[in-house]
Amino acid sequence: MTTKRASVESTADAYLELLAARGVEYFFANSGTDFAPLIDAYARRLAQGLPAPRPMTIPHEVPAVGMAHGYALLTGRPQVVMVHVIVGAGNAVGGIINASRSNVPILFSAGRNPLTESGLHGSRNRPIHWAQESFDQAGMIREYVKWDYELRNFTQLETVVDRALAVSQAEPQGPVYLTLPREVLAEKHEVFEYAAASRAPKPGAVAAAPDAIAEAARLLTAARNPIILTKAAGRDPLAVPALVKLAEALGAPVIDQFHTYMNFPQDHPLHAGFDAAPYLDDADCIVAVESDVLWFPALKAPRPETKIVQIAVDPLYARYPIRGFPADSALSGTVRLNLAALADAVRKGVDGRAVAERTQRWHAEHRRLREAWAATARKAQNERPLEMVWVSKCVGDLVDENTILVDEYDFDPTQGCFRTPRSYFGSSPAGGLGWGLGAALGAKLAAPDKTVICCVGDGAYIFGAPTAAHFVSRAYSLPVLFVIFNNRAWNAVKRAVQSHAPEGLAARTGQMPISDLDPAPDYELVCRASGGHAEKVEDPAALPDALARALKVVRDEKRQALLNVICKKPGTMNG
């Protein structure tokens, strides 16, 4: 085993040394008094040119976690974000819930209020140090992290960090939580010896047993009208071509049901859109790939005799307290391996003529859907206030092979056409608002040569701590195009009311308390305050040129840009 020996001054110094050695490139930080030993260590390391993750000052916890999330989405590597003791962790919890339900690896850390009132370097010396201590700091977030621990001493530093990173990457991936007491970080040391590479166990890819593959193949080859649903197959880019292989072997459509990734090339003639409900009645076998929600049982479900195959890292979604979707066959483990093995097994036993007939039928359905979507956008192109489908069409027209779209409401997926893995990211199934701005900045940091477009609703924009996000964009030269679909409302809330009580007074009149965001701020001024280009757009005919101007600023001037697009308010008629 190769070891390294580094000259250090403190545990905090050794911590930064170790993170750099483990390949951590950035330290997303929202600091407080607990950071003092780390900041002192950073000053030394930066002055002397010693290795350390680049420190990133993120002035709010929501975009800090969002940036780590977005960077991890593009790279597949765990990221480190640190916040200020219990209060910073409280602000960050929503983002950690998002990362948990999205299976994103993050080493989430927070300072630990000083343990001692006196006697040690780092003991309490601020009035907040009494009120900021909790009985169980990790308790508020334990349900949503895979592992939590408090660093007890310098001796265990390497074991703790290596274990944290390894657990975050083990499937199903997710965030872990490490608290760092100030006295431990402040301990004085001169030498730090550690292994050159982590020797923590790293579980490899796992395929389902051959008999499980054979049983799933039997169900599929016997089916007359199989369909495939997927939500997050694209979390693993290598699962995308494997999913194409399975769809083509079956002649079955792939439907991006509530999708959060680019899962299947949307120009492929077997792509059948984004809503499985119209096809559930005729399906006799449904394959669900990395899909936590297959349908809404209270509204629409397939026939009871329809066979269900679930394929996921964890088909049980064991961390969900209740989830009752059935499975006649379940393939757990590495999704790309199981998809490829299933495709091979299906190809050997399927009826070629049936596959050809289905393929032709679904190709026609793909063309019909595309034509209908285009017609919907054309019909909306002159509506004022703007229809979101038209805004989405104009944004979708900008997307090329060098573009990444981060969507936190309200981009209409029918108006885009994503073809390559890691080109589209939707918000977490947990739905913690505020994710989009930080995620887009993290994506740009990870892929500086890509154009990043962030679509957000006005409510999500407010939740994203936009003053902090725009600060970060300018401070670290991360030019992103932000497009606000501004309908002056929390439309998800309004839709929930309409589906819950369609004949109720709120739905009939459109008067829904606690859901409107009027009067709307001039959001473009927030971006301009951090040196960005920003416009308000109210004319649908002006939108394409406004988008072109904004993109030119982002690509040529390397500055952020924002369009505040005034959209039709839910529950009102266009005038």
**Entry pTM:** 0.96
CB 100 within 8 A of CB 145: yes
Instruction: State how far the Cα of 492 lies from the Cα of 195, in Å rounded to an integer.
Output: 50
Instruction: State how far the Cα of 295 lies from the Cα of 536, in Å rounded to an integer.
Output: 38
CB 498 within 8 A of CB 438: no
* Predicted local confidence at residue 497, as pLDDT: 76
**Domain boundaries defined on the chain:** 3-195, 210-370, 381-566
Tell me if the bond preceding 556 is cis, omega within 30° of 0. Answer: no
* Predicted local confidence at residue 1, as pLDDT: 78
Q: Which amino acid is at 336?
A: R
Q: Which residue has the tokens 């070629």?
A: 352
3-195 and 210-370 have identical folds: yes
Query: Would strands 561-566 and 533-537 be described as parallel, antiparallel, or unpaired?
Result: parallel
Decide yes or no: CATH 3.40.50.1220 for domain 210-370: yes
Give SS3 for 361: helix
Q: Is 98 exposed, middle or buried (0-12, 13-18, 19+ CB in 10 A)?
A: buried
Instruction: Give the percent of the chain with pLDDT over 70.
Output: 99
> What pLDDT digit, counting tens, does each position of 219-249 carry?
999 999 999 999 999 999 999 999 999 999 9
Q: How many helices (H) and strands (E) does the chain have?
A: 19, 19
* Predicted local confidence at residue 573, as pLDDT: 41
Query: Would strands 285-289 and 254-256 be described as parallel, antiparallel, or unpaired?
Result: unpaired
Instruction: State how far the Cα of 407 lies from the Cα of 454, in Å rounded to an integer.
Output: 6
Instruction: State how far the Cα of 230 lies from the Cα of 311, in Å rounded to an integer.
Output: 9
CATH for the 3-195 domain, from 3.30.70.260, 3.40.50.10540, 3.20.20.70, 3.40.50.970:
3.40.50.970
Residues forming beta bridges with residue 26, ordered by sequence position:
54
> What is the DSSP annotation of 206-226?
----HHHHHHHHHHHHT-SSE
pLDDT less than 70: residues of the chain: 490, 494, 571-575
Strand order in the sheet with 226-230: 254-256, 226-230, 285-289, 307-312, 329-332
Question: What CATH class does 381-566 carry?
Answer: alpha beta
* Predicted local confidence at residue 490, as pLDDT: 66
CA angle 490, 493, 494 (to 5 degrees): 90
Instruction: State how far the Cα of 405 lies from the Cα of 453, in Å rounded to an integer.
Output: 5
